[in-house]
Structure 1
């Protein structure tokens, strides 16, 4: 399974994915790690924030409390959207692979790329999109 780079494949992910876990979610509304998931939520996606600094608090974002890890999520996730620096993506590999069921797609936001982690995810049957913005792609293609 190759990395998804074709527009038709990216559009299919956007059309068929309904549950998005956001690693590195940020509570500051001016940060992309907040306003991108907020945009997706307003378009009908279910957003599950993942940020250990926010987990366990009585805060709710888009109707969900933040989880500390992906493995804590008890429902199937279609896309894991990552808002972490490229050199930190590997820190989440085992957490992604521990998800049950595994996500269909891992989406590394614009400016984020880690080919080594992408290859390991692809070997496990998980689609990977790197260095693209879900908000921009959704606006442009849907």
Structure 2
């Protein structure tokens, strides 16, 4: 399958899945900009937001708000969370499949965040990152269950 998110949704590729419903999967970003960087990924292959079904579009912000509560309840993003959709290649969309980033923020994290933007796809420290993602996934799965 050519689309990584379609392959994840089909169970053909692994992911740190936190939640799923009829429209979306909630997973951890494997190249996170900040701890607990979450993606809400459409089950539909929709390259642009305008390609997403009306039902999924209507559900997206409700789910994002639920994930935001779970993040904050787990100690991530209490000072702020970026919600970001890169809608098209010119908008820095690396995978042409609709997904919403939820990136927990804190005051003063801009310099470290800029460094992560520049180095996020390098293989440095992947083993330690994998262990962190495993721990975050367990905590956030439980938090999302509490937010149902």
Larger RCO, structure (CA 8 Å, separation 6 or more): 2
Q: Which has the higher helix share?
A: 2
TM-score by length of 2: 0.26
TM-score by length of 1: 0.27
